[in-house]
């Protein structure tokens, strides 16, 4: 079989074949990116079905994203909770946006990311003495050459916990995010 590229019909046939293969490449790429990006969205260390008044929640909240048209957007991500670091299917570091933890001392590593590609630029390990039924929201503030990350009680708006090393009592072995 000889494929001739003469005239309008030859170009049309060539473009149809090219479009068919482009669709397959785009679809395959979308599937692979979707699979590689699969990661847990939430972390739960209490049994399924536990009533909300018996656990605490650490979340990023709606103000997790800062956008100013004159600057690059920044956001937060939870990358470790009580010694549990998150990884995607490809083994690369991943993150979550919500963690359900047992009452008591909990450690969480929160990463500050930059841009729509979420390039990590800094992280902080924080602790919170989690109270049952409470939700703690991670917040951040950018300065000219600095940043601050902290946890607030969702209801009262008070800052809770602190930086790693300032805990009121020693934590259990293996529950620190280092």
pLDDT digits (tens, 9 = 90+) for 75-102: 888 999 998 888 776 666 788 889 999 9
Domain identity same for 46 and 32: no
pLDDT beyond 60 at 38: no
How confident is the model over 129-148, as pLDDT tens digits? 999 999 999 998 888 888 88
Q: Which of 3-12, 101-110, 150-159, 162-171 has the lowest mean pLDDT?
A: 3-12
Domain identity same for 90 and 117: yes
Domain assignment present for 14: yes
How confident is the model over 54-64, as pLDDT tens digits? 999 999 877 66
Domain identity same for 6 and 66: no
pLDDT beyond 90 at 31: no
- Is 127 or 94 the better-scoring residue by pLDDT? 127
* Burial class of residue 128 in the structure, from the number of CB atoms within 10 Å of its CB (0-12 exposed, 13-18 middle, 19+ buried): buried
Supply the pLDDT for residue 34.
46
Domain assignment present for 178: no
Domain assignment present for 176: no
Domain identity same for 88 and 135: yes
Domain identity same for 86 and 111: yes
- Is 40 or 63 the better-scoring residue by pLDDT? 63
Length of the chain: 178
Strands 84-85 and 56-59: unpaired
Domain assignment present for 174: no
E-assigned strand segments in the chain: 42-44, 56-59, 65-66, 74-81, 84-85, 98-101, 104-114, 119-130, 135-142, 147-153, 159-160, 162-163
Domain identity same for 125 and 90: yes
Total tally of structural domains belonging to the chain: 2
Strands 74-81 and 65-66: antiparallel
Domain identity same for 67 and 103: yes
Domain assignment present for 169: no
Supply the pLDDT for residue 68.
61
Structural domain harbouring 8: 1-36
pLDDT beyond 70 at 28: no
pLDDT beyond 60 at 174: yes
Residue whose structure tokens are 């997790």? 64
Domain assignment present for 102: yes
Domain identity same for 86 and 20: no
Domain identity same for 49 and 14: no
- Is 112 or 2 the better-scoring residue by pLDDT? 112
Domain identity same for 100 and 127: yes
Domain identity same for 116 and 155: yes
Domain assignment present for 172: no
Domain identity same for 65 and 149: yes
Domain assignment present for 177: no
Q: Whose CA is closest to 167, among 138, 125, 132?
A: 125
């Amino acid at each position: 079989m000889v494929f001739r590229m003469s005239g309008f019909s030859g170009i049309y046939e060539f473009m149809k074949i090219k479009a068919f293969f482009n669709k397959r490449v785009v679809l395959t790429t979308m599937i692979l990116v979707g699979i590689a990006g699969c990661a847990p969205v939430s972390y739960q260390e209490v049994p399924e079905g536990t009533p909300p008044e018996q656990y605490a929640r650490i979340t990023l909240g709606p103000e997790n994203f800062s956008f100013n048209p004159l600057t690059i957007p920044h956001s937060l991500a939870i990358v470790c909770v009580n010694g549990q670091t998150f990884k995607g299917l490809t083994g690369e570091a991943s993150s979550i946006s919500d963690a359900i933890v047992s009452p008591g001392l909990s450690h969480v590593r929160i990463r500050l990311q930059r841009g729509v590609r979420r390039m990590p630029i800094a992280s902080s390990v924080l602790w919170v003495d989690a109270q049952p039924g409470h939700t703690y929201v991670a917040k951040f503030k950018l300065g000219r050459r600095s940043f601050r990350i902290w946890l607030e009680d969702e209801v009262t708006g008070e800052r809770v916990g602190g930086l790693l090393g300032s805990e009121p009592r020693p934590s259990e072995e293996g529950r620190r995010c280092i």
